[in-house]
Structure 1
Amino acid sequence: MQEYVIIVAGGSGSRMKSDIPKQFLAVNGTPVLMHTIRAFAAYSPNLRIIVVLPSEQFGFWEDLCKKHSFAIPHQLVAGGETRFHSVKNGLNCIVEEEEFLLAVHDGVRPVISREIIADSFQTAALHGAAVVSVPLKDSIRIVGQNEGNKAMDRTLFRLIQTPQTFRSSWMRAAFAADYHQSFTDCASVLEAWGYHIRLIDGAYENIKITTPEDLRWAEIYLKATS
């Protein structure tokens, strides 16, 4: 089956305390989003890459591509009001009639390995879904009402990452529905429509860059592995 990835990059720089959206901040001299796209392009030259950005950021991104001589083929699609709508816009731009596999990945997760990407597509081809996750390292407590809290068994929980990869028929069926506030990622959308979510192993270094500390960590890691 043909493989696609929708890279969703609609974040702001608020928690970074930056006027520049975090997907455009430089890591070792190169915008975060370019590192992410390169990781997927390195997985397979046949992978079709769709990048979802707010339409008002198209010009800025195109200028960055010229500045950095960034020529990896990708299709730009305008984002929507929520992540659900942004993924739906990306999905709707694919005119493939045959069944295909579709991964959805955060634009600000640049430290993603070829092995995890490959496992994601292979598992989705076999089982229909593959969602990357890692076990919790720390103890956790659930906070209830009246300032109460209770220890929980951390082995019962997983931290969810991306990519999240699915058969196209599953995606098209689930994303034909109306948006609901409980849809925090693609897995929650498909689960709401009865599809089984299969978890696969991720990696702790596959962080979502959200804070200045994340950015510094990514710089160190990418420099060490380049």
Structure 2
Amino acid sequence: MSNYVVLTAGGIGSRMANEIPKQFINVNDKPVIVYTMEAFQSHPSIDGIVVSCLSGWDLILRAYAKEFGITKLKAIVPGGETGQQSIFNALTKLKEFALDDDMVIIHDGNRAYVSPDIISNAISVAESKGNAIACIPCVEVIAKRDAPDAQTAHVTIPRDSLERTQTPHVFKFGDIMELHSWARENGVEAAAAPELLTLSGRAINFSLGDETNFKITTPGDLEMFKALISMRER
């Protein structure tokens, strides 16, 4: 059995207020997406990586992969108009070499501080339970916005019953292809696998997450990532 990674790197990064897409912003002379690829390149259980990349940046990404020694990169495919479409494009490419029982690890390309423990635990949970979604407990009070007025709320949701999902999301290749086929046949467009699972009546199995496994989407996130990298390098 092989383990393949699908990285999504198709976003334009509008919340970053930067002309360079967030996944290609340099931190210590290395793009964010390279840090993410290195996390999987160095993990002994990973056999190959497919990246769903923003249009026009594929040659740049390939050059970075060569520069930084990402030898497990199998393919770069065009990103779609949505996250679900980007993932499906990568899964379609995986059909060329993945078997139904192989594991697929889907991960955000801008979630660059993913640890070896998170990756290993997600694979282990998926092998035993059928899928794995990295999660962390919700520690803040959650307020549900009022429908007529987005600036007020009359309902809070007990945080003890909530988990915040992250990536990686791990499935057997045959199972995730079946899930995406179900979505396409039923006209379901969802941002991520947890929604597809629950909308199709299937269970989410929690795997290890961490607060440091955050998506880099804002300037504040970028500064936190820079601080983490500086601490790690020291």
* TM-score > 0.5 by shorter chain: yes
For 2:42, the equivalent position in structure 1 comes to: 42
For 1:221, the equivalent position in structure 2 comes to: 228
From 159, 162, 171, the equivalent of 2:164 is 159
What SS does the corresponding residue of 2:56 show, helix, strand or coil?
helix
Equivalent AA in structure 2 for residue 118 of structure 1: S
Deviations 1:30-70 (A, max 9, x none): 1000000001111126421111102321123234446xx22
User: Which 10-residue stretch deviates more, 3-12 or 88-97?
Assistant: 88-97
From 172, 195, 207, the equivalent of 1:200 is 207
For 1:169, the equivalent position in structure 2 comes to: 174
User: Which 10-residue stretch deviates more, 80-89 or 171-180?
Assistant: 171-180
Looking at structure 2, the residues matched to 44 and 193 of structure 1 have their Cα atoms a distance apart, in angstroms, of 33
Q: State whether residues 170 and 190 of structure 1, in contact with CA within 8 Å, keep that contact through their aligned partners in structure 2.
A: no
Matched length: 223
CA RMSD of aligned residues (A): 1.7
Looking at structure 1, the residues matched to 196 and 148 of structure 2 have their Cα atoms a distance apart, in angstroms, of 32
What SS does the corresponding residue of 1:43 show, helix, strand or coil?
coil
Looking at structure 1, the residues matched to 57 and 28 of structure 2 have their Cα atoms a distance apart, in angstroms, of 22
Looking at structure 1, the residues matched to 26 and 225 of structure 2 have their Cα atoms a distance apart, in angstroms, of 10
Looking at structure 1, the residues matched to 201 and 9 of structure 2 have their Cα atoms a distance apart, in angstroms, of 27
Q: State whether residues 164 and 186 of structure 1, in contact with CA within 8 Å, keep that contact through their aligned partners in structure 2.
A: yes
Distance 1:193 1:62, change over 3 A: same
Distance 1:149 1:111, change over 3 A: same
Q: State whether residues 171 and 190 of structure 1, in contact with CA within 8 Å, keep that contact through their aligned partners in structure 2.
A: no
Q: 1:7-156 alignment to 2 at 5 Å?
A: 7-44=7-44, 46-65=46-65, 69-73=67-71, 74=73, 75-94=75-94, 95=96, 96-147=98-149, 148-156=153-161
What is the deviation of 1:225? 1.6
Q: State whether residues 135 and 166 of structure 2, in contact with CA within 8 Å, keep that contact through their aligned partners in structure 1.
A: yes
Looking at structure 2, the residues matched to 145 and 188 of structure 1 have their Cα atoms a distance apart, in angstroms, of 22
With normalisation by structure 2, the TM-score equals: 0.89
From 189, 197, 215, the equivalent of 1:190 is 197
Instruction: Name structure 2 gaps, 5 residues minimum.
Output: none
Instruction: Name structure 1 gaps, 5 residues minimum.
Output: none
What is the deviation of 1:223? 1.8
What SS does the corresponding residue of 1:93 show, helix, strand or coil?
helix
Deviations 1:97-128 (A, max 9, x none): 34111110000001110001000001101111
